[in-house]
Structure 1
Amino acid sequence: MEIETGSTGLNHHAVVVWIAPDGRMLHLSGGPDEGREGVWLREGLDGVGFVDAAADFAKAAHQVGETVTQITLDHGELDVPLYVLGSAEGDMQAVREQVKTMFRRDRAGWLSMWTPVTGWRWIRCRLLTMKPALDSSPYEVKGVSLDLVLIAEDPRSEEKPASSQWRNAGGSSHGSLTLWSGPEWVSWPTFVVSGPGSVELSMEGSTIRLPSLEVGERCLLQSDPARGVLRSVAADGSSRNRWPDVVGYLANPIPADSVSHIGIRVVSGGSPETAVLGQSRIHREGLM
């Protein structure tokens, strides 16, 4: 993410930026571009430093206390109070109307925060409500306060992913990738395989053999079973589902705070152009 923070040291205010679904930005707080679009972050930011967790318990006869059987994470709700200020009454109204188009209920954007310690982190979220907080006519002061509430289906934040790439440059037909999960959560990596040939991946005790690819064809594998994707895109741009052509599956994620060495073997039809790119998303609890 290339956004100017204006900082070279540790003693610096956090930078908060909203990235709309279409890529437009609001520089809400911190940094040299703060308020550039006529919108600022007010006091009262909440929900960005934690996740709401719930625990299920089981209790045996005569047991003292209870045993935790499962901990689940609910969706996140983020309170992001804003202030819109214009140079004139009509200008303020125009800015507000523009801001309303940048928060959608049907498409998600990203609330992003930078600190000199954590770097950039972001939460994918969408609009729940945006209410004007009117104590008097906003046209008298050329500004208006907005009480914005965002919802995040996955309440965890993300930071720059870990990446590793292998190429069959020497024609050895085998090698490995090294991926880190991040310190707090397990990670299900995403892989992009470039043809030609059929590639086998081994990770955390299980193996998957991907379908054979043609020259110039690429295949995307999302290993998370909750969001499993396996599609190939040929050189002519045509795409197809490749799950029916797979042998095996990756049964386990990379454990939290662990490095996984993912084995690669070209089973058939490989060339020096055969390559595998792996990427693990790193999740955190909170933006800061």
Structure 2
Amino acid sequence: MIGPSKSIIHYVSPGGIVIPLSGHGVIGEPGFWIGNGPDGLGHIDVDSLFDSGALDEGEDYVGGVVDHAELDIPIHILGESNADFQRRKEFFKALIPRDRQGWLCAFTESTGWRMLATRRGSFKPAFGSDPAIARGATYDTVFIADKPHSRTKDDEDSWQNKTGAGSGVLYLYPGPEAPGWPKFVFTGPGRLRLMYEGMDVTIPVTLAAGREIFIDTDERVQTIRERASTSADRGRNLWGLMKAQHFPNPIPRGVVSRIRFQVAGASTQTKLWATVPQRHEGLL
């Protein structure tokens, strides 16, 4: 008989150091693990907005605001001696800076890996006994997530013009919690036209073979740049040629979106790749 599987939780520092916190090792051996009563691993707090009017009964719901999140996670640290415990404590605290983000990563068999970018809010000792005797202590650790939705592997789809059709459809899913802004990499030859969510945008450059265009539709940093497909530089900015064309709409949350496209002058070398972040509520 196979017993129940454990949730696996890791912390990954900004520098890439991985600290197992749950699901590995044996509690009671020197190391780090999550104590009792963690809060914030499975939900997001949403502030509801209401609008009221004079003499109205009650209020009308307007929407919700998702602010930053605070995950209150007790971390128990145990050393082989009191001096070893103190070294481990300082080592762990240094891995959670306030000015840079690391990652809390969690795995279950039903959800797979989920990740949340976090920084240190506080790291307070909760001494239940003299740590000099116990060689360890629990620290009430608050991880702050600027963007509280957890991430899974980005969804992606791709197309290559193997049949000579010069058109097709890609499918992207941004997850159940938030709309998504796709990114595209178009490899020539050809001229690309994208059609989805009420938009019809033609990229105003016909690519030669061996050239590519990178497109980021995020409304905060919309980017269209062209370069050689083997190049590592940022390439040429094409916004000046767009003539007021842009991407005003994301793809909606909770559904798989169809990204229609056409390529004029395509060959068998022509390719289109697309990706979008997937966001979820909670790490577990």
Residue among 8, 11, 17 paired with 1:24: 17
- Give the match for residue 281 of structure 2: 285
Q: Is the contact made by 2:30 and 2:80 (CA closer than 8 Å) also made in structure 1?
A: no
CA distance in 2, matches of 1:232, 1:9: 53
- What secondary structure is seen at the aligned counterpart in 1 of 2:83? helix
- Give the match for residue 217 of structure 2: 223
Residue among 247, 251, 275 paired with 2:248: 251
- Give the match for residue 260 of structure 2: 263
Asked if 1:209 is matched to 2:202, the reply is yes
Q: Is the contact made by 2:30 and 2:78 (CA closer than 8 Å) also made in structure 1?
A: no
User: What do the CA deviations read for 1:189-247 (whole angstroms, capped 9, x no partner)?
Assistant: 22222334432211111023335345444433232213434444543422144433335
Residue among 228, 234, 248 paired with 1:239: 234
- What secondary structure is seen at the aligned counterpart in 1 of 2:132? helix
Alignment map for 1:82-97 (pairs within 5 Å)? 82-97=75-90
- What secondary structure is seen at the aligned counterpart in 2 of 1:95? helix
- Give the match for residue 52 of structure 1: 45
With the length of structure 1 as denominator, give the TM-score of the two structures. Answer: 0.85
Q: Is the contact made by 1:10 and 1:116 (CA closer than 8 Å) also made in structure 2?
A: no
User: What do the CA deviations read for 1:128-167 (whole angstroms, capped 9, x no partner)?
Assistant: 2222333554232221322211111111112233221111
With the length of structure 2 as denominator, give the TM-score of the two structures. Answer: 0.86
Aligned sequence identity (%) = 34
Residue among 116, 120, 124 paired with 1:131: 124
User: What do the CA deviations read for 1:71-103 (whole angstroms, capped 9, x no partner)?
Assistant: 211110011211111112332222223212321
Instruction: Describe the shift of the 1:34–1:199 C-alpha distance in structure 2 as closer, same or farther (beyond 3 A).
Output: farther
- What secondary structure is seen at the aligned counterpart in 1 of 2:125? strand
CA distance in 2, matches of 1:233, 1:10: 53
- What secondary structure is seen at the aligned counterpart in 1 of 2:133? helix
- Give the match for residue 193 of structure 1: 186
Structure 2: unaligned runs, 5 residues or longer: none
Q: Is the contact made by 1:179 and 1:279 (CA closer than 8 Å) also made in structure 2?
A: yes
Instruction: Describe the shift of the 1:99–1:165 C-alpha distance in structure 2 as closer, same or farther (beyond 3 A).
Output: same
- Give the match for residue 156 of structure 1: 149
Letter in 1 for 2:268: P
Measured on the aligned residues, the alpha-carbon RMSD in Å equals 2.7
The size of the alignment, in residue pairs, is 280
Asked if 1:103 is matched to 2:96, the reply is yes
Structure 1: unaligned runs, 5 residues or longer: 1-7
Asked if 1:173 is matched to 2:170, the reply is no
Instruction: Describe the shift of the 1:9–1:193 C-alpha distance in structure 2 as closer, same or farther (beyond 3 A).
Output: farther
Post-superposition offset of 1:262: 0.5
